[in-house]
Amino acid sequence: MKKEEVPQDKGLLESAQTKELTYAVDENGEYTTELSSGWDPKTIALSNAIKDIEERVANAKERVEKNKTSPIEYYMELHKMDLPILSSYVGLWQWRVKRHFKPKNFQKLNQKTLQKYADVFDISIEELKHIS
């Protein structure tokens, strides 16, 4: 895209008084950088993704409150992680982390394992056990 064609649509970046660095071709045909305040299709896609994440967090919180899953799943969603990411951060196999999603297995976790999860989510063990 040419330098003068870099989108400057109103979007999330503009409301945050931020600009995004993009690459464009200048009048000499050389690649250069240009600041963009946003692009409508990208803004819509990001808004949809954020809405989806918020729904997943709310769903996980509801499942914790109904004792259908453990707080680990809620915090995983809240921190925008998936099972492979979380398991790599805590240093456990995915199947073990998935077992910890079950409330009865979560209740049996020792302090060391709980501390691993708390460290990953940057919270205390007490916060891990009781979501707000």
**pLDDT (tens digit per residue) in 115-131:** 999 999 999 999 999 98
CA nearest to 75, candidates 95, 101, 108, 47: 101
Give Cα 120 distance to the centre of its chain.
13
pLDDT confidence bin for 85, thresholds 50/70/90: very high
Average pLDDT, the chain: 91
What integer is the mean pLDDT of 42-66?
A: 93
